Amino acid sequence: MVSGAVKIKSLFWLILIFLTATNLAFAAVKEESIADSLRQKAQAGDVYSQLKLGEEFLYGVNRSRNLNLAFYYFNMAAEQGSDVGNFYVGYCHEYGYGVTKNIFKAYSYYEKAISLDEAKFKVALILERGLRGAKIDGKYYGSIDQNKVRAKELQDFLISKKYPPAMVNLAEKLLKNRNITPESGQYIFELLSEAAEQNDVQAKKYLIDCYLEGIGTAVNEEQAFKEAYKLYTAEVKGVAGKLGLFYERGIGVAPDMLEAIKFYQIAADEGEGFAKVKIAEQHLSGFYLKTDVEKALKLLHEEMRNNNGAAIKILADCFLKGIGLEKDEKQAFLFYLRSAGLGDVAAQYELANCFRNGVGTQIDESAVFFWAKQGSSVGDIDCMRLLAECYAHGIGTPKEIKTAERLLIACVKAGDDKAALLLKRGLE
């Protein structure tokens, strides 16, 4: 028999559920009413309503994302001469949102919206490189000539206004220059700091590298870690992998491989190739994650399709050693060759050894020298040591004992015990 207290309690919960459902229903009706009102205004020609609806459909705010409707409302605003509408129509054409992807149409709409800083930046990027003519949907679009002068004028104007994307873009170009002077480094740091103050996420990411490498500021690994962790806690994607590396190598924080793997897994789930390779390595080694060769190979093959040199190099190792794959020296050689061509220095070293020892290919001393030199040019210690051996013994190049000694000394200074042993034995 149910007691009176239980009945009252049950009645209370029924009333609460009813009221909650009623409130949700009223909220839905109110939201739909607002939406209908916005649509009515947009259809009546109100530009503000057209743009607001376009943005809501584009970003999925207050309603389900619908790129076709986003383009429809932006186009309505553009047809009434709205600069913002023209910009958004260009944006939709550039990325194929609700319309066929067409960079030529995008450019024409950006030019119509040139009064906007966003449009100036887009036009500058296109003019900087120019566009070759192309056929899209059966129609041929003529080329857009490169115009670096106008592109620079637009960029300079935007930088004078401290427009964040322009400042970050210029900083990126300067960072690509290997010979960064103290003056250019300081300018890079200033540009990125200005953009970061305006909450530009990409600028904040680049500042992490500035603190790591001492670009425009003193090397400060602790600050680099703090900046990366701050972005992570703000739910910014693309920093978890860097945090994994910091924890793995003890950069700005105490080394902690378990924390490193946690962040690598987060980054891998976000689709970061570098992190996927790290997780695959752990599944192959079984040190910190359960040995799972099948899962490791799956991750590596995913990244191989993305031309990830590190992933392809590890697959080459698997072919060479018969780990999860049938042992095949020829396949190992071909995978090392592909990875080396993509710039992976570890693969360049292994490829040089393949040519040196005839693994999966014929012995070719000139190729040994070539690939050892390639890896040495970016400071890889293994390649530098191998290059020293080439100079010491005339492998693929005339003997140069002094050059060999110089290379080995550099390796020893970097902590390479093998180079120290070679020096001790003598090079003659």
- Cα distance between residue 187 and residue 42, in whole Å: 46
* Domain end among 219, 238, 264: 219
- Cα distance between residue 38 and residue 317, in whole Å: 60
Same-domain pairing of 103 and 88:
yes
Cα 297 versus chain centre, distance: 22
Same-domain pairing of 53 and 153:
yes
Report yes or no on 97 lying in a domain.
Answer: yes
Give the pLDDT confidence of 145-171 residue by residue, as tens digits: 999 999 999 999 999 999 999 999 999
CATH of the domain at 325: 1.25.40.10
Same-domain pairing of 114 and 79:
yes
> What is the domain extent for residue 60?
41-130+147-158
Same-domain pairing of 154 and 169:
no
Give the pLDDT confidence of 167-226 residue by residue, as tens digits: 999 999 999 887 899 999 999 999 999 999 999 999 999 999 999 999 999 999 999 999
Phi, psi torsion values for 277, nearest 5 degrees: -65, -40
Same-domain pairing of 405 and 349:
no
Report yes or no on 393 lying in a domain.
Answer: yes
pLDDT of residue 28: 39
Report yes or no on 184 lying in a domain.
Answer: yes
Give the pLDDT confidence of 218-265 residue by residue, as tens digits: 999 999 999 999 999 999 999 999 999 999 999 999 999 999 999 999
Phi-psi region for residue 250, left (φ > 0), alpha (ψ -120 to 50) or beta? left
pTM confidence score: 0.79
* Domain end among 318, 338, 363: 363
Report yes or no on 15 lying in a domain.
Answer: no
Same-domain pairing of 338 and 384:
no
Residues in CB range of 208: below 8 A, 6 or more apart? 224, 227, 228, 231, 239, 242
What token pair was written down for 388? 């020293």
Element (H, E) at 241: helix 240-249
Phi, psi torsion values for 252, nearest 5 degrees: 75, 5
Same-domain pairing of 154 and 49:
yes
Same-domain pairing of 330 and 342:
yes
Report yes or no on 32 lying in a domain.
Answer: no
Give the pLDDT confidence of 284-320 residue by residue, as tens digits: 999 999 999 999 999 999 999 999 999 999 999 999 9
pLDDT of residue 179: 84
Among candidate residues 370, 348, 344, 367, the one with its CA nearest the CA of residue 356: 367
Element (H, E) at 139: strand 139-141
pLDDT band at 30, cuts 50/70/90?
very low
pLDDT band at 4, cuts 50/70/90?
low
Number of folded domains that form the chain: 4
